Structure 1
C-alpha cells in the first residue's frame, strides 16, 4: 500500500492541460454510469413482475437509455479519457493542435450524446442500443449517434498525430508500448465505425426523415455488426492495456514480453473486424459459406486472448516467487491482495474466463441455435463488458483520477474500493447466472415478459427474473459505492502525488522486432481479410435488395 500514499515523489506527470481534457471525458463517463445504472435497476425490477414503471415510462425506453449510455457512452468516454492520458504520459505532452482536436472531438461527441439522450427520454427513440430497423427513431437520435462517431474520429486524430510525431523523432525505435496499444485500438475503432457511420448516414437518417420509404434491413444489420463485434474489442483492449502495462508495475513486477503484447494487439486488429456474421447466423440472405468463414475468423481471436492469459499469469507467478512464494500455487498468495488497483482488475480478469467460454458458444453455429436471442446473450454481455471491462476501468480510475487531479487514494477509500468490487462480483454472479440459466430454458432477451401472462413458460422463468432483480439491486449498490469513491477522488481526497504506473519490460524478454510496428503489413492484411469476408456477401445483398428499399421519394 505504500505506493498509494507516497508523498513528494518525482513522478512523471501527465501535463495539466492534457489531464483536464482526459478528466472531461471521465466526468461524462461516470454521469452515464449513474443514469444508465439506474435504468438497469428499474429494468430488472420490471422483469421480476413485482414493479410497475411510473409516469408512463416505457420498458423499452429504459432499455434504450441503459444500453446506449453504458455500452456506448460510458465506454467511449472513459476509453478516450484513459487513452489521452496514456499517450500524454508515454509519448509526451500533446501539442496545442493535438489538444484542440481532442476538445473539438469531446464537444462534438457531447452534443451528439445530448441530442440522442433527449430523443430517448422523450420516447422518440426506444430502439435499443442496436437501433435495428424496422424499429425507427427520430432523426435527431441518429444524427446524435453520428456526431458521437465523428467526434471520436476527430479526438483520435490528435492522438495518432502524436504517435506519428514520436516515430519521426525516434526513427528505428519501437514506440512506447502503451502508446502503441492506444493506436492499435484507435485504428480498429476507426475502421469498424465506418460501418455504423454508413448505416446511420446513408440509411437510417434519410429513412427517418422520410426521404426514402424503405431501407434494406439485411444490409443495415450487416453494417451494424461489421461495427458491433469489433466494438467489443474496442471496450476490451483498454482493459488489456491496463493488464499488460499497468498491473505489472503495481505488483512490483515487470512486463513479461513487449513483443508478445504487441503481437496480441495486432492479432486483435486483423481478426476482430471481419467476424460480424457470427451475430447473424440465423438470418437468411447470407450464404452459409460466408457465415462459416467468419465463424472461423472469430475463433482466431481466441489466440491473442490465450497469449494475454499466458503473459499475465507468467508475470504474476514470477513476481510471486520473487516474494518468496513456494510450491505450485504459493506465488498466488504473495500478490498484493490489499491493493484495490490490483484486486479490482483481477476480479475482472477472472470473470473473463466464463465470459470467453460463453463467447465461444455464441459464435458456434450449432450451440448458437440453443441460445440465440435468449437472455443467455444478455448474461454473457454483462460478464464481458459489465464485469471484465468495467471492473478494470474502475481499478484504473483509482490511480488515474488521483494522478490527474493531484490527490491520493487513501487507505479508507482503497478498502472501500475492494468492498465495492466484491459487491459488484456478487451482484453480477447472481444476475448474470440467472440470465444464463433462464436463457437455456428459452427465456427471450429484450423482453419484460408482460406479454406472456400466466403461461407455463412465464411461471418457469419468474424465479430467475426475481433473482435478476436481486442481483441488479446489489449491482446498483455497487454503482453508488464507486460513484462515492470517484467523487471523493475528484474533489475531497487529500492533496498529493499519485503515480501513473508504467511497467518496465523484463530484462529476460526478447528484443521487440520492428515488423510488429510495420503498419503497411498489418493494415494490408486487415483490409484484405475485410474485403475477402464482406465483398461478395454485401454485393449479393445489393443485387438482391427488396424492391423499393433504395428508392428516394424525390427520384
Structure 2
C-alpha cells in the first residue's frame, strides 16, 4: 500500500484545505445561480418557488466574486508561502485560523440575508439599494478576516528575512506580500463605506447617505479587487508554470518588478468605473484613466516573460522557428493546459478592459451586458482556469494523494467544457452589449435596432454557454472531491520553479517596503484627496459624507 506523503505539515494542510472546502462549496452555489440566470434571461424558463432574478444575481456575484476567490486565494498563498519559507509557527497558524473563522462567519451572515431576500443589492450593493444590517456586518467580518491572514503573510516574510540575512527572499512569498499589501490598502475603502455609511443607514440612525461618496469608496476598492483576483494567477504563471513544463523562471527581477508596478498603479484608478457619473471633475477622471492605462505595462511584461519561458523551454527540447515551441508543450497535462488557456483568455479580456477604461468607448458599453462578458473573460476565465490548474496539484500535494491519469483526463475535459461554454456565453454577451443589451437586468426583450431573431439568438447562446459551464463546474467538483478524499495515497509534487542561472539577482531596493508603500500612498493621495474633499463639500443636504453622529 502506498504511503501518504504531504508537502506541508498536517496542521498547515488542515488550514489550507479549510479554505478550499469553502471555495469549492461557493463554486457549486454560485455556478448554479449563474445557470439559472442565463436560463431566465433566455425567456424560455421561469425561476421556481418564487425565487427572484436579482436575488440569484446577488448570490452569483457575491459568492463567486468575493467568497470563492478570497478563500481560494488566501489558501493558495498561505500554502505557497509556507512551502517556500519553511512553514508557519504556532502563533502564525493561530492568527490565520482566526482570520478564517471571521471570514466564514461573515460569509454565512451575508449569505443568509441574501437567501432570505433581505439583501438583494447585487454584487456592488450600490445605495439607494439597502440590505439588512447583518449583510453589511457580514461583509465587514470577511474583510477583517482577510486582514488577519494578510498580517500572517507579512510576518512570515519578515521572519524569513530576519532568519536569512542577505539571502534572496522566496519569489512566491514576495508575491503574496505584494498581493496582500494591495488588498489591505484597497479594502480600507469598502470597510469605511460599509461601517460608517451603510451600517448607520441600515440601522435607521440616518435617513440618507452621500451616494456618490459611497460609490467612490467602493470603486477605490472595486478595481484593485480585479488585481486581487489576478495576481495569484500571475504567481502561478511566473513561479509554477515553468516547473510544470520542465523549464526555469525567465527573470526573478522582472517578476518582482511587475508586482511592484501592479501595487503602485492598481489602486488610484477607481474613477474609470465612474466616467459617466456627475459630481467628479473630468480632470481627475482623466488623471485616473492615465494611471489605469499604465497597468498595461506590467501586463505586457508578464506576457513577454511567460512566452520567453515557453520559447526557452521549447528550444531546449529542440524546437525551431518562431512558434516551434508550441509543439513541445505538455498539452496532455491538465496542470499546464488549464492555466495556459487562461492566459489566452486574458488577451481579449485585457483588450476589453482598455475599452472599458477609455472615456469615449466606455460611453458605448457602459452598463451594458458587454461589461458582464468582459468580467467572464477575466475573472471567470483567465483567473478561474488558472485556479483550476492550481487545484490539480495543490490539493493532492497537501492531502498526501496523487493526481491520477483518470483525474488528469477529467481535468482536460473540464478545461474544454469551461473554454467552450465561456466562449459561447461571453461572445454573446459582448455582441448583445454592443446592441444595447442592459447589464444587471432580467430584461430580455428586443431593444434598439437589433434584428429580433438575432437578439433572441444571443439570449439562447448565453443559456447554452451557461449550461456547458455548469457541466464544467460539476466535473470540477468531482475532481476536487476525488483529490481531497478518494485519490490513491502517495506523493504529489508541489511544483516550484527555480530561476534561470542566466538571470540577474533582483535589486535590494525591491525589498524596501517603506519606499513602495510610501509611493503607493502618495499616488492614492494625489488621485483622491481633492476629489473626495469636493464630493463631501458638494454633497446635497442630509447626505454630508459620514455625518451621522
Please give the TM-score of this superposition, normalised by the length of structure 1: 0.96
- Name the residue aligned to 2:528: 534
Note the 1:473-484 alignment, pairs <5 A.
473-484=467-478
* Partner-residue secondary structure (3-state), 1:149: helix
Note the 1:54-65 alignment, pairs <5 A.
54-65=48-59
- Name the residue aligned to 1:134: 128
- Name the residue aligned to 1:495: 489
Distance (whole Å) between structure 1 residues aligned to residue 11 and residue 363 of structure 2: 51
Q: CA deviation at 1:184?
A: 0.2
Distance (whole Å) between structure 1 residues aligned to residue 205 and residue 86 of structure 2: 48
- Name the residue aligned to 1:437: 431
Distance (whole Å) between structure 1 residues aligned to residue 450 and residue 332 of structure 2: 48
- Name the residue aligned to 1:193: 187
Q: CA deviation at 1:462?
A: 2.2
Comparing 508-517 with 289-298, greater Cα deviation is found at 508-517
Q: Residue 4 of structure 2 contacts residue 490 of structure 2 at CA under 8 Å; is this kept in 1?
A: no
Stretches of structure 1 lacking an aligned partner (at least 5 in a row):
1-6
- Name the residue aligned to 1:184: 178
Q: CA deviation at 1:118?
A: 0.3
Note the 1:322-337 alignment, pairs <5 A.
322-337=316-331
1:232 paired to 2:232: no
Distance (whole Å) between structure 2 residues aligned to residue 490 and residue 11 of structure 1: 14
Stretches of structure 2 lacking an aligned partner (at least 5 in a row):
none
* Partner-residue secondary structure (3-state), 2:129: coil
Note the 1:93-112 alignment, pairs <5 A.
93-112=87-106
Distance (whole Å) between structure 1 residues aligned to residue 278 and residue 10 of structure 2: 54
> Deviation digits for residues 326-373 of structure 1, max 9, x if unmatched?
222111100111111111100100000000000000000000000000
- Match 2:384 to one of 365, 372, 390: 390
- Match 2:539 to one of 542, 545, 555: 545
1:121 paired to 2:123: no
Q: CA deviation at 1:450?
A: 5.6
- Name the residue aligned to 2:515: 521
Distance (whole Å) between structure 1 residues aligned to residue 129 and residue 499 of structure 2: 50
* Partner-residue secondary structure (3-state), 1:49: coil
Q: Residue 211 of structure 1 contacts residue 553 of structure 1 at CA under 8 Å; is this kept in 2?
A: no
Distance (whole Å) between structure 2 residues aligned to residue 523 and residue 426 of structure 1: 41
Q: CA deviation at 1:458?
A: 6.9
Distance (whole Å) between structure 1 residues aligned to residue 490 and residue 5 of structure 2: 11
* Partner-residue secondary structure (3-state), 1:13: coil
Please give the TM-score of this superposition, normalised by the length of structure 2: 0.97
- Match 1:23 to one of 17, 33, 56: 17
Structure 1 segments, 4+ long, off by >3 Å, are 7-12, 450-460, 550-555
Q: Residue 406 of structure 1 contacts residue 497 of structure 1 at CA under 8 Å; is this kept in 2?
A: yes
- Match 1:202 to one of 167, 175, 196: 196
Note the 1:59-78 alignment, pairs <5 A.
59-78=53-72
Q: CA deviation at 1:456?
A: 7.4
Distance (whole Å) between structure 2 residues aligned to residue 29 and residue 474 of structure 1: 21
Q: Residue 178 of structure 2 contacts residue 259 of structure 2 at CA under 8 Å; is this kept in 1?
A: yes
Distance 1:552 1:225, change over 3 A: closer
Note the 1:2-401 alignment, pairs <5 A.
13-401=7-395
* Partner-residue secondary structure (3-state), 1:414: helix
Distance (whole Å) between structure 2 residues aligned to residue 276 and residue 174 of structure 1: 34
Distance (whole Å) between structure 2 residues aligned to residue 114 and residue 361 of structure 1: 36
Q: CA deviation at 1:87?
A: 0.9
* Partner-residue secondary structure (3-state), 2:240: helix
- Name the residue aligned to 1:3: none
Q: Residue 212 of structure 1 contacts residue 552 of structure 1 at CA under 8 Å; is this kept in 2?
A: no
Distance (whole Å) between structure 1 residues aligned to residue 548 and residue 430 of structure 2: 49
RMSD: 1.8
- Name the residue aligned to 1:4: none
Distance (whole Å) between structure 2 residues aligned to residue 414 and residue 406 of structure 1: 17
Distance (whole Å) between structure 1 residues aligned to residue 53 and residue 426 of structure 2: 20
